[in-house]
Amino acid sequence: MVDHLARAVRVARGLEPADLLIRGARLVDVLTQQLRPADVAIVGDRIVAVGESVSLARARETIEAAGRYVAPGFIDAHVHIESSMVAPGRFADAVLPHGTTTVVSDPHEIANVLGVEGVRWMLAASEGLDLSVLMMAPACVPASPLETAGARLAASDLMTLVAHPRVLGLAEMMNYPGVLAGDPVELAKLVAFSGRPIDGHAPGVLGDDLQAYLAAGVVSDHECLTAGEAREKVAGGMMVFLREATNARNLLDVLPAVTRENARRFAFCTDDRVPGELLDDGSIDALVRMAIGAGLDPLLAITLATLNPAEHYGLRDRGAIAPGRRADLVLFEDLADVRPSLVIAGGRVVARDGERVGGGAVAPGGLRPTMDVAWRDSLQLRRDGDRVRAIGLIADQLITTSETVALKPAPTAPGVAGPEPDADLLRLSVIERHRHTGNVGQGFVTGFGLRAGALASSVAHDSHNIVVAAADDGDALIAARASADLGGGLVVAAGGEVRATVALPLAGLLADRPPREVADDLARAEAVAAELGCHLGAPFMALSFLALPVIPSLKLTDHGLVDVDAFALTDVFV
Amino acid sequence: MVDHLARAVRVARGLEPADLLIRGARLVDVLTQQLRPADVAIVGDRIVAVGESVSLARARETIEAAGRYVAPGFIDAHVHIESSMVAPGRFADAVLPHGTTTVVSDPHEIANVLGVEGVRWMLAASEGLDLSVLMMAPACVPASPLETAGARLAASDLMTLVAHPRVLGLAEMMNYPGVLAGDPVELAKLVAFSGRPIDGHAPGVLGDDLQAYLAAGVVSDHECLTAGEAREKVAGGMMVFLREATNARNLLDVLPAVTRENARRFAFCTDDRVPGELLDDGSIDALVRMAIGAGLDPLLAITLATLNPAEHYGLRDRGAIAPGRRADLVLFEDLADVRPSLVIAGGRVVARDGERVGGGAVAPGGLRPTMDVAWRDSLQLRRDGDRVRAIGLIADQLITTSETVALKPAPTAPGVAGPEPDADLLRLSVIERHRHTGNVGQGFVTGFGLRAGALASSVAHDSHNIVVAAADDGDALIAARASADLGGGLVVAAGGEVRATVALPLAGLLADRPPREVADDLARAEAVAAELGCHLGAPFMALSFLALPVIPSLKLTDHGLVDVDAFALTDVFV
């Protein structure tokens, strides 16, 4: 380290050539909010000099920026890597070409399957990547007591993660009702991470409740739905992360809250993005473009993507282009339409013209199988009445309605309450897959439009049991078993056979394959679902949230149907 | 802790009365750069709710702000407590009435006397005070190899301090020539504190040298002399601390560098202030007033005094008035002339109308005596030529000139090169006092104007040997011995007797007495010096810097006369 510093000093003084020199760039200086011409000299993974000095002109390798802009690498302030359906090394391959060089991730999904072991695997799988993967300890595992997850994390479990140099703090404290009620289990987690960043998750929580949530130690929020909500949260001391996720598009609604005076209190996050969207729309670069397109000063937009999250998380070594900081750099041509043409991370070129240079890091082995189902012969539901409570799916939303639907007088099979695809009434099942309990939650869902077959997924927030929506009880079992046979994954079955799969054998959540392959598999599965009549844009995304009993109004877990408003189990038959 | 959080939550929700409520204030919101009416509810040492909600109206104790402004407590980004000449508890009594509730201090002076033991004593002496005393590990002890200090701190010594919860990082790396030369001893210190804040000290260091200094890991500077220097340092990634010290008044020169766009990269520091100035002019409040008086937006000025240093040092729990943060608050009447009328620290009223409430914390014992001099019979200098190099004092500056002065043909005593007060040529001696070496550096100084007697001081930067400026060789010895007999201190002797003293028995640097008493003692000693002909405003301050061999041009240490430009010893006689 001393030798490295000594060399950095010599290079900065012009006594030795740099390892890499970016020459003739227009520097996006987030520290002064100015553009200025500059060269950037790099030694190892660090910037050692920035300026127009001739002393910098020598280097082992020179990149002619030729007037391109150079900005600090982008930072995603809050992301669940698992939503990309690929292992961290593959996720890096997806986001680096978009200029995202650092992510603050919450390994919340794998923690629900594998607990601390899962988090440690994510840390191992993200060690030494070109992408800096920092983590927050998952705060709410499981999401509720009304389901069977693979693990339960108490404050004492989370504390075992604190010493890791890439664990920054506590991830989103979703159980805000618990915090507001003074639940000692939740408060113990906040106490355990006192003095570190504690991310929040408080959709619509305002007024006294917001003050109380803040008083408990939470310092950020990414769930704002309106500019007014963001203004109140910023005034309360929160950092507000503007979010644009596949399933939660809030950026444009919240952006009007950002002013030149309060801008340092905002950052960007993607939260959850499916692989195809990461590849084709982008990562934080997409949010930067969107914000600039909506009128935000480009320098401010880039500051929200760089310096602000770095300062918020105490990442002293990044967020600006300055000597001593990490050489994480993004070059692009157009300040009004930021599309990285060259990305440097840790001093190395990691992407060029949207294509990853290098990459393909293989995930470490050692992750145990997680599909441990005590199978039943059938997923048929015994008919126990004529009217059922059905989950009413709303396209592109996580909330559902609770519908009461009359079953047809003539059942599909005697004594069976079956799906009625011609009435868009599908059977929904959630099959416990962690502990061989044999639990199966049974219910109905409307809004899929599926005319035949079944969709199954081992991605089912947050406990990630197998969720199946079916127009046919037989196909339901075939799809669910196929998901388990893959070690986890997404499956479309119809006519008694498997028609499409997306294998996710790592914890039933992730594939260790190129993200494009997984995105293509998913697109094919969605196409098959569409052929079967499903009219949803992202049917598996929709399916995966039907098992999350902390979002209103009616959801299904392996324990059964959950009336979320009452936060209690309820009967299928009315 | 969980119980405390639970109560904080209940109070914020209006379910229980707060411990303290500030009602009807005008909140200086540094997060949004706005003023707004607000109540502030406090539980223990924390803010739990801020707003206009009626839920906050109940409290065990209510302070009616009646429209006064309430701002976060001020933070001094860099201060040597030792310059106040009082122990940390007494220093707190001086600065809290001025609204400074947090200081980031460099216990650099005591470290030169007592090494790590001295730093640990400062930590013990500042434990549990109403003032938050945070520390940086002293980077350059001793300042040079051309003197005898009481201690030498290597990286390994500094590392023993890192684990202390109030040690934030590495204090000002003054040896920038060493860093630029790649000195492994200095670089090892920077490596040891990698990832933590590392304060800089680089007067006039710009261009390639600045880039190199930054590349080594330094992140701040408080030595800017001009706005242009500050602009270059901020663009280089530094936080710049605007300084207004007793002996270095830079604020107004540097202030024009601050713009609305780059303001987050600036903070305030006092660096060195003598007790009288702390009491009468102030602490950070004085800098806030000065900056506002010079035209800085008051909200920005207060942000430089609060949020900015908090973010720079990673102090998540302060810097703004928001739930979950420390209840460090300043109330005042006039935004154009910020004079705290009420100061709250850690939820308690600690000062009212400029007067300390409580205080008087007594320093812990256990500090060993530090005056260990091998005395000589006389401080007379043997005449060894007719012309001498004399240090040319420049009023109110730390730099000196090097003068060549012809001695009178007729000596005061045979064979002695004595003082010639009628020609303003005083004898200067530096007497080693740490290790009983018997070292005495001998020389001459012009510019004091002293016509009779002698001034002695055990405060003599940075090694803090005894420095004596004398119009009479006999009085020189009397003053020096008196300083040692006090256990350290400032002394004026004349006519064969001690005429005034400021006892500083703690390491020869500090008194454990009320700061006003020490300030009065110092004022009396200065008055006696003035009676003896000295025309300097702060003669002891001037004297204390004559032994610092890292500031040009000619200085005196216990090793002898130092040509600072050549960084080598030189002869008194030309």
Distance from CA of B122 to the nearest CA of A (A): 23
Average pLDDT for chain B? 96
Two tokens, residue B572: 């008194």
Please report which helix (H) or strand (E) contains residue B10, including its range. helix B2-12
Q: How confident is the model at residue A54 (pLDDT cuts 50, 70, 90)?
A: low
pLDDT score of B516 more than 70 = yes
**Residues B194-232: pLDDT tens digits?**
999 999 999 999 999 999 999 999 999 999 999 999 999
CA A462, A466, A472, A475 torsion-angle sign: positive
Chain B, 229 to 288: residues with Cβ < 8 Å from chain A are 231, 234-237, 259-262, 264-265
DSSP A69-125: EEEEPEEEEEE-GGGGTB-HHHHHHHHGGGTEEEEEE--HHHHHHHHHHHHHHHHHH
**Residues A433-488: pLDDT tens digits?**
999 999 999 999 999 999 999 999 999 999 999 999 999 999 999 999 999 999 99
Q: Pick the residue from chain A with its C-alpha nearest to B182.
A: A6
Spell out which residues of chain A touch residue B205, defining contact as CB-CB under 8 Å.
none
Supply the pLDDT for residue B413: 75
Q: Pick the residue from chain B with its C-alpha nearest to A27.
A: B235
Q: Check CB contact of A381 with chain B, cutoff 8 Å.
A: no
Q: Pick the residue from chain A with its C-alpha nearest to B165.
A: A195
Over its C-alpha atoms, chain A yields an Rg (Å, rounded) of 25
Mean pLDDT, rounded, for B257-277: 97
Q: Yes or no: say if A220 and A268 are a contact pair by the CB < 8 Å rule.
A: no
Spell out which residues of chain A touch residue B209, defining contact as CB-CB under 8 Å.
13
At A289, phi and psi to the nearest 5? -60, -45
Chain A, 188 to 217: residues with Cβ < 8 Å from chain B are 188, 190-191, 194-197, 207-209, 211-217
Distance from C-alpha of A373 to C-alpha of A148, rounded to nearest angstrom: 12
Tokens 């190099």 found at: B389
Distance from C-alpha of B328 to C-alpha of B98, rounded to nearest angstrom: 13
Quickly count: other Cβ atoms within 10 Å of residue A281's Cβ.
18
**Which one-letter amino acid corresponds to residue A552?**
P
Nearest to B209 among A13, A47, A237 (CB): A13
Q: Pick the residue from chain A with its C-alpha nearest to B197.
A: A316
Question: Model pTM?
Answer: 0.96
**How many Cα atoms sit within 13 Å of A121 on the Cβ side?**
23
Distance from C-alpha of B360 to C-alpha of A227, rounded to nearest angstrom: 49
Q: Pick the residue from chain A with its C-alpha nearest to B257.
A: A32
ω into A142 cis (within 30 of 0): yes
Strand boundaries in A261-400, DSSP class E: 266-269, 329-332, 340-345, 348-352, 355-356, 387-392
**Alpha carbon of A420 to those of A400, A416, A452, B207: distances in Å?**
19, 12, 10, 76
**Residues A55-69: pLDDT tens digits?**
666 899 999 999 999
Chain A, 318 to 347: residues with Cβ < 8 Å from chain B are 320, 322-325
Q: A111-115, A253-257, B115-119, B535-539: which range is least confident on average?
A: B535-539
**Residues B530-539: pLDDT tens digits?**
999 999 989 9
**Residues B314-338: pLDDT tens digits?**
999 999 999 999 999 999 999 999 9
Distance from C-alpha of B170 to C-alpha of B182, rounded to nearest angstrom: 18
Task: Give me the percent of chain B exceeding a pLDDT of 70.
Answer: 99
Spell out which residues of chain B touch residue A187, defining contact as CB-CB under 8 Å.
2, 5-6, 9
Q: Pick the residue from chain A with its C-alpha nearest to B47.
A: A215
Supply the pLDDT for residue A305: 98
The SS3 call for residue B254 is: helix
What 8-state DSSP symbol labels residue A488?
A: S
Chain B, 33 to 72: residues with Cβ < 8 Å from chain A are 33-34, 36, 43, 46-51, 53, 55
Top residue of B211, B219, B264, B265 to mutate, by most chain A CBs within 10 Å, is B211
Q: Check CB contact of B6 with chain A, cutoff 8 Å.
A: yes
Top residue of A1, A9, A194 to mutate, by most chain B CBs within 10 Å, is A9
Distance from C-alpha of B52 to C-alpha of B24, rounded to nearest angstrom: 8
Q: Check CB contact of A31 with chain B, cutoff 8 Å.
A: yes
Distance from CA of A384 to the nearest CA of B (A): 45
Give this complex's ipTM.
Answer: 0.94
pLDDT score of B54 more than 60 = no
Distance from C-alpha of B409 to C-alpha of B98, rounded to nearest angstrom: 55
pLDDT score of A397 more than 90 = no
**Residues A411-444: pLDDT tens digits?**
567 899 999 999 999 999 999 999 999 999 999 9
Spell out which residues of chain B touch residue A180, defining contact as CB-CB under 8 Å.
9, 13
User: Comparing C-alpha atoms, which of A368, A525, A396, A365 is closest to residue A454?
Assistant: A525
At B418, phi and psi to the nearest 5? -100, 175
Mean pLDDT, rounded, for B406-417: 83
Q: How confident is the model at residue A1 (pLDDT cuts 50, 70, 90)?
A: confident
**Residues A310-356: pLDDT tens digits?**
999 999 999 999 999 999 999 999 999 999 999 999 999 999 999 99
Distance from C-alpha of A297 to C-alpha of B556, rounded to nearest angstrom: 56
